[in-house]
Amino acid sequence: MKLVGPWISGFTRRTGITMKLLGMPFEHLSLDAYVDREEIRRYSPMGKVPALVLDTGEVLIDSAGIIDVLYELAGPDKALVPPSGAARLKALQLIGIGLNIYPKLTALYEESLRPQSYQLQSVFERLAEQAIIGLKQLEAEAGDGWLVNDTLSQADIMTVVSYQGASMIVLRDHVTAKNFPRLAALTERAMKIEAFASTVPLL
Ligand SMILES: N[C@@H](CCC(=O)N[C@@H](CS)C(=O)NCC(=O)O)C(=O)O
């Protein structure tokens, strides 16, 4: 399989971490949606990443659908979301928050690319506020272990990806270990695992 997209894309990164944790080998095509547009469109005509090229040559976009297919390929026992009940609900709640933080980070990044005279402080503030509210919700859920039943799940993946995207890239002054000590500790735990450490976005 081929995974198209750079680790700086949180959606690509969560897909790559998932594949690594599931022990699925893949070729990583680290193409940047903003730079390598034509190349990406060979796989993903809308230019969206991640795109997953299956061994059959079929292509899937959107991390939710991709990860669904990966769980099916790996077998239900290996899925990184609890199968049912309160644990599944909790995992889906937290994943939903993370999935909605990341587009705010992407929008902040895109805003920062505008010439300064076209940037609106009010837009920056609104996006940052939304992302920070989401991160505070995740911080409140974090404890000493993994987020759901102390078992590593997709909720931890999306939380760590969101925290690192904010703290390393677009909200470095606000999203710090001092302000988010539990998310920082969760991230430190995750970074001991190769799947996380080998996919850190490098600018
Ligand atoms: N819902 C999608 C979101 C993917 C997404 O927005 N990817 C961004 C990079 S983080 C992208 O492709 N940006 C380029 C564009 O939208 O033109 C998913 O989960 O895969």
Atom of ligand 1 nearest to the CA of 47: 17
Question: 48 alpha carbon to ligand 1 midpoint, in Å?
Answer: 5
Q: Are residues 101 and 47 in the same domain?
A: no
Digit-coded pLDDT (tens) for 139-198:
999 999 999 999 999 999 999 999 999 999 999 999 999 999 999 999 999 999 999 999
* Residue 44 CB less than 6 A away from ligand 1: no
Q: Are residues 91 and 164 in the same domain?
A: yes
Digit-coded pLDDT (tens) for 40-80:
999 999 999 999 999 999 999 999 999 999 999 999 899 99
Tokens of 185: 């500790």
* Residue 50 CB less than 6 A away from ligand 1: yes
Q: Where among 40, 62, 78 does a domain terminate?
A: 78
Q: Are residues 112 and 186 in the same domain?
A: yes
* Residue 186 CB less than 6 A away from ligand 1: no
pLDDT-based confidence at residue 203 (cuts at 50, 70, 90):
low
Phi/psi region, residue 47 (left: phi>0; alpha: psi -120 to 50; beta: rest), is left
For residue 42, the domain's CATH number is 3.40.30.10
* Residue 167 CB less than 6 A away from ligand 1: no
Distance between CA 20 and CA 9 in Å, rounded? 16
Q: Where among 43, 78, 113 does a domain terminate?
A: 78
Q: What whole-number percentage of the chain has pLDDT above 90?
A: 96
